[in-house]
Structure 1
Amino acid sequence: MSFYNFATKVLLMFSKTFYKFEVIGKENIPNEGNIIIACNHKSNLDPIFIASAIQNREIAAIAKKELFKSKPLAFILNKLNVIPINRDKPDVSTIKNILRSIKDGYILGIFPEGTRVKEPGFGQAKGGLTVFAVKGKADVVPISIISNYKFFNRVTVYIDKPISFKEYYGKKLTTEDNERLAQNVLEVIKENYYIHSK
């Protein structure tokens, strides 16, 4: 068993032990093909819940490069396929690494808002999601995590159907286009979040 598979099994055990953990829509994660998962981000626990929810494929997540300053943490993050990124100005090599991870069969994990939004509500989506979906020729799966993150309370991970960006392949999109299309995905995430919060 690989380190990644071992780690995700441990995380799933954690999620089920300390929360009322529920996953809806597992079947919407295909076993193959280019896929990006896009998820809301309100807690540092979100990556744990995502890794627990998706067990049929390995995820390569994007995280801020500051997390890699600690050598022990950097070692673990590298083993878990986490790709460091400068959120203010991603360099070309980072973008190539991200696109390569999609090509190599990993599911790319992105938080469209770019950072945690701790207060109620949501932020604005960044255009990076669209850039990677179009350049990586990947469908985007919107995922909503619904929780108050308190121990032994409910955590619902709602996985919606993949959204195709095929009509934009090969087209030159503006920054505004990228942000608008990414925001459309975030609106799906928001809608599912509010529906399943009731």
Structure 2
Amino acid sequence: MNFYKFVIKAFKCFSSIFFKYKVIGRDNIPDEGNIIIASNHKSNLDPIFLAAAIENREVAAIAKKEIFKIKPLGFILKKLNVIPINREKPDVSTIKNILRAIKEGYVLGIFPEGTRIKEPGFGQAKGGLSVFAIKGKALVIPVSIISNYKLFNRVTVYIDKPISFEEYYKQKLTSEENEKLAQNVLEVIKENYYINSK
């Protein structure tokens, strides 16, 4: 068993033992093709819950570059395919690394809001999701993580059907247009969050 599979197995055990962990819609993750999973982000536990939910593909997530300075966390994150990014101004090499990961068959994991939203509700989506989906010719799968993050309480990971950005592949979009497309995905995530929170 390689390191990635070992850690994902540990994530699943952690999620199942300490929470009432449930995944809805695993079948919506295709076995092949360019894929981005986009999720809401309220807790440091979200990457664990998200990675544990994807059984048929390896995930390459994006994380702020600052956490890679923490040792040995940075080493472990690299082993788990996590790509460091400057959230304020991603450089060209980072974007190339992200697009390469998509094309190499990894499922790119991204939080459209760009950071944790600790207070109730949601933030605004950043345009990066749309940029990566269009440049990477990837389907976007909205994922809602529903939890109060208290031990032994319910965690639901709701995986919706893929959204295609194909009609925009040959267009040159503005920053505002990319943000609007990303926000449309976030609206789906929000809708599923509230429906499944009842």
Per the shorter chain, which TM-score range?
over 0.9
Which amino acid in the other structure matches residue 69 of structure 1?
K
CA offset at residue 95 of structure 1? 0.3
User: After superposition, what is the alpha-carbon deviation per residue over 1:108-155, rounded to whole angstroms, capped at 9, x for unaligned?
Assistant: 000000000000000000000000000000000000000000000000
Alignment of 1:91-110 (within 5 A): 91-110=91-110
1:123 is aligned to 123
2:143 is aligned to 143
Which amino acid in the other structure matches residue 130 of structure 1?
S
Q: Which runs of 4+ in 1 moved over 2 A?
A: none
CA offset at residue 71 of structure 1? 2.9
Which amino acid in the other structure matches residue 100 of structure 2?
R
TM-score by length of 1: 0.99
CA distance, structure 2, for counterparts of residue 113 and residue 151 of structure 1: 25
2:154 matched to 1:193? no
In structure 1, the gaps of 5 or more residues are none
CA offset at residue 55 of structure 1? 1.4
Percent same amino acid among aligned pairs? 78
Calculate the aligned-residue CA RMSD, in Å: 0.4
CA offset at residue 69 of structure 1? 0.6
In structure 2, the gaps of 5 or more residues are none
Q: Secondary structure at the match of 1:62?
A: strand
Which amino acid in the other structure matches residue 13 of structure 1?
C
Alignment of 1:1-198 (within 5 A): 1-198=1-198
CA distance, structure 2, for counterparts of residue 179 and residue 13 of structure 1: 36
CA distance, structure 1, for counterparts of residue 6 and residue 32 of structure 2: 21
TM-score by length of 2: 0.99
CA offset at residue 2 of structure 1? 1.1
Which amino acid in the other structure matches residue 27 of structure 2?
E
Q: Aligned pairs, how many?
A: 198
CA distance, structure 2, for counterparts of residue 51 and residue 125 of structure 1: 21
